[in-house]
Amino acid sequence: MIGLVYAGGNSKRFGQDKATYQVPGLPASNIQLAVTKLELFCSRVLVCANSHNEAQIKQLLGTDALVKVICDVHPFDHHGPLSAIFAATAQFSNSQDYLSVAVDYPYIKRATLNCLAHTPQSYIATSKHNHYALAHFRITNYQVKQWLRNDNWRLHTFITDICGCQPLIYKSTKEFSNLNYQGVNQQHEK
């Protein structure tokens, strides 16, 4: 299974790069937390960065042979998570299983990722929100390319319609809070 970290967003609402940010009280930056958690379940981890945070992410992650930092690739660049999925799938010639995590979920628990890793074609859902960026899916680069050629950029329709993922239901907790605004959601529920 390939781990995929969405780390290329502009973080405009947050006010600074979410990938390289370290939430007070947590032991590492958001990117380091995401990669460390995915390495437990994945043979390789791809981090999709942007041109502004790529160098800093590489510095934070060091020289781990199982981790590769990539950026969006033309002609499907600058379109959020689907650009990252296209860039990731371009690394392989055949179908792969991907376990995806957005970098702005620093509280996601290893046990939750373990369950997701063992539930193919699934995404996390709570009573408050569907978390399509927390997903386990199998896809080829060709399938992604065909989808994107029709200007389909909505992650939720890709995850449900193309990948055939079903919700993996969890109770709403801080674990599933994402960091859209600095200072919000930064108290971890134990």
Q: Where are the domains of the chain?
A: 2-183
Helix (H) or strand (E) segment spanning residue 48: strand 44-49
CA 41 to chain centre: 14
The percent of residues above 70 in pLDDT, for the chain, comes to 90
Task: Indicate if the pLDDT at residue 186 is higher than 70.
Answer: no
- Reported pTM: 0.90
pLDDT band at 77 (very low <50, low <70, confident <90, very high): confident
Long-range pairs for 172-176: beta carbons < 8 A, 24 or more residues apart: 172/126, 172/127, 172/128, 172/129, 173/126, 174/107, 175/107, 175/108, 175/109, 175/112, 176/105, 176/107, 176/108, 176/124, 176/126, 176/129, 176/131, 176/134
Paired tokens of 39 = 């390495």
pLDDT by residue (tens digit) across 20-53? 999 999 999 999 999 999 999 999 999 999 988 9
Among 2.40.50.100, 1.20.1250.20, 3.90.550.10, 3.40.50.300, name the CATH number for the domain at 2-183. Answer: 3.90.550.10
Task: Return the SS3 of 46.
Answer: strand
Task: Indicate if the pLDDT at residue 16 is higher than 80.
Answer: no
Task: Indicate if the pLDDT at residue 102 is higher than 80.
Answer: yes
